[in-house]
């Protein structure tokens, strides 16, 4: 039968990262491509213990339908953690549990975006968010960035000249894909500009708790005095992504709409997963677990940076992230990271070419490297292979 698809599906392409991840499932490949946490650090035994306790003690509740808003004890704990770590002042009524923050992005798209509305995002930005918003017919305006975040003058200029402006989407902490963190000044400037032009901000913060160096900076949400920030959090990177537990923190007016949309999508996030996580938080110390993750990821970052400094030519620029899972490399303009990837795959090493992370522009000389998913010796070997790939690319 001839399939007549909805218009909205036309612009959504298969994520190149997902396609690439299929290739890199082959264990012989050293993969810097995914954004995967280290599975050896998942608290498997603790989860086994609480799961059996939960099923035996509260099985009937854990296996039943539950409310769309989410399990209240978990929402309370999330609000408490946000306030403690990121200096916000939220309570459980301002938290909606979502199935990962990816669902939160989709919900926000459905609540706010009409065909042709413009989302202002960092250049480059998180592909999963761009695709979620694209599904609702969004157009993007990419704002240039530097090491301190979006450049405020550029944002203001673009906002002033855009008619259907709707949302500003940012990842201020250890951004995906660049690993960069916004300075405090830029955070304040963003809020001022967003208020001036009356545009809501989506603050997506999956990596903020994974800081190895320096002090945690206040979340945009904590600096927000006019209810203009929708904060997205997740346990994917601090606990485990397979649980699919994230949240939106936002004022009542928007939250009500988000609840309606989530109801239509999946009724509620898995009751048992929410209760497992809640029981973990009651019986174990998530902060100690996160300290362990940070220690391992910091060593991996250090190994990566040392190897890149030793092996890569000086013409390849990269940043040293203070936390999170990624760094970003920039080659001279005439070098194409897609061609480099082809060469590197033959050498058994993979990364994500940067062009996927640009909403509109075609830039081909950048790429993203993830360092959380491999031990140091593989990281060093992988960088050596990329270095040989680069020298072959130069003579291509």
Ligand X SMILES: Cc1ncc(COP(=O)(O)O)c(C=O)c1O
Q: Which stretch binds ligand X (CB under 6 A): 50-58, 209-217, 234-242, 300-308?
A: 234-242
235-274: contacts with ligand X (CB under 6 A): 236, 241, 246
96-135: contacts with ligand X (CB under 6 A): 100-102, 126, 128
- Counting Cβ atoms within 10 Å, is residue 267 exposed (0-12), middle (13-18) or buried (19+)? exposed
* Choice between 241 and 354, CB closer to ligand X: 241
**With contact defined as beta carbons under 8 Å apart, do 103 and 319 qualify?**
no
* Choice between 248 and 331, CB closer to ligand X: 248
CB of 18 to ligand X, least distance (A): 12
Q: Does 149 bind ligand X (CB under 6 A)?
A: no
Q: Does 382 bind ligand X (CB under 6 A)?
A: no
* Choice between 234 and 276, CB closer to ligand X: 234
CB of 34 to ligand X, least distance (A): 9
- Counting Cβ atoms within 10 Å, is residue 340 exposed (0-12), middle (13-18) or buried (19+)? buried
Q: Which of 204, 209, 322, 330 binds ligand X (CB under 6 A)?
A: 204
* Choice between 353 and 389, CB closer to ligand X: 353
For 42, phi and psi rounded to 5 degrees? -65, 140
**With contact defined as beta carbons under 8 Å apart, do 278 and 73 qualify?**
yes
CB of 176 to ligand X, least distance (A): 4
* Choice between 171 and 293, CB closer to ligand X: 171
**Size of interface with ligand X, in residues (CB under 6 A):** 14
C-alpha pair distances (Å), 242 with each of 202, 211, 217: 24, 22, 28
* Choice between 36 and 345, CB closer to ligand X: 36
Q: Does 171 bind ligand X (CB under 6 A)?
A: yes
Q: Which of 68, 145, 176, 269 binds ligand X (CB under 6 A)?
A: 176
CB of 143 to ligand X, least distance (A): 16
Sign of the Cα pseudo-torsion (17, 22, 23, 26, in order): positive
**Residues whose CB falls within 8 Å of the CB of residue 241, separated by 6 or more in sequence, listed in order:** 36, 37, 100
Q: Which of 20, 35, 50, 358 binds ligand X (CB under 6 A)?
A: 35
* Choice between 241 and 389, CB closer to ligand X: 241
CB of 280 to ligand X, least distance (A): 17
CB of 105 to ligand X, least distance (A): 6
* Choice between 102 and 337, CB closer to ligand X: 102
**With contact defined as beta carbons under 8 Å apart, do 297 and 325 qualify?**
yes
The residue whose Cβ lies closest to ligand X is 100
Q: Does 206 bind ligand X (CB under 6 A)?
A: yes
Binding site for ligand X (CB under 6 A): 35, 100-102, 126, 128, 171, 176, 204, 206, 234, 236, 241, 246
């Amino acid at each position: 039968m001839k399939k007549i698809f909805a218009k909205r599906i036309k612009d959504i392409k298969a994520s190149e990262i997902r396609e690439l991840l299929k290739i890199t499932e082959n264990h012989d490949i050293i993969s810097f491509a995914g954004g995967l946490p280290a599975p050896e650090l998942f608290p498997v035994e603790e989860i086994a213990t609480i799961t059996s306790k939960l099923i035996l003690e509260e099985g009937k509740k854990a296996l039943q339908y539950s409310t769309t808003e989410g399990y209240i004890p978990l929402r309370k704990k999330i609000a408490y953690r946000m306030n403690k770590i990121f200096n916000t002042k939220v309570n459980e009524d301002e938290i909606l549990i979502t199935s990962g923050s990816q669902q939160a992005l989709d919900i926000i798209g459905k609540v706010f975006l009409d065909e042709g509305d413009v989302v202002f995002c960092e250049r480059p930005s998180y592909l999963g968010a761009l695709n979620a918003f694209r599904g609702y017919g969004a157009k993007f305006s990419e704002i240039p960035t530097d090491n301190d975040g979006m450049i405020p003058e550029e944002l203001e200029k673009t906002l002033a000249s855009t008619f259907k402006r709707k949302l500003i989407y940012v990842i201020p902490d250890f951004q995906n894909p660049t690993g960069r963190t916004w300075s405090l000044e830029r955070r304040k400037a963003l809020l001022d500009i967003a208020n001036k032009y009356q545009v809501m901000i989506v603050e997506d913060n999956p990596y903020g708790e994974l800081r190895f160096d320096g002090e945690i900076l206040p979340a945009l949400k904590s600096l927000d005095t006019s209810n203009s920030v929708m904060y997205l959090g997740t346990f994917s990177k601090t606990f485990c992504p397979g649980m699919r537990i994230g949240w939106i923190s936002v004022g009542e007016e928007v939250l009500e709409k988000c609840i309606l949309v989530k109801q239509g999508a999946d009724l509620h996030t898995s009751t048992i997963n929410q209760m497992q996580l809640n029981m973990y938080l009651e019986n174990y110390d998530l902060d100690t677990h996160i300290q362990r993750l940070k220690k391992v990821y910091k060593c991996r970052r250090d190994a990566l940076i040392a190897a890149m400094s030793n092996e890569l030519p000086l013409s390849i620029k990269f940043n040293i992230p203070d936390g999170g899972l990624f760094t970003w490399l920039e080659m001279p303009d005439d070098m194409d990271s897609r061609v480099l990837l082809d060469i590197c795959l033959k050498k058994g090493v993979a990364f994500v070419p940067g062009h996927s992370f640009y909403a509109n522009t075609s830039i081909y000389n950048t790429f993203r490297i993830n360092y959380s998913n491999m031990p140091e010796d593989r990281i060093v070997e992988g960088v050596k292979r990329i270095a040989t790939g680069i020298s072959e690319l130069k003579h291509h």
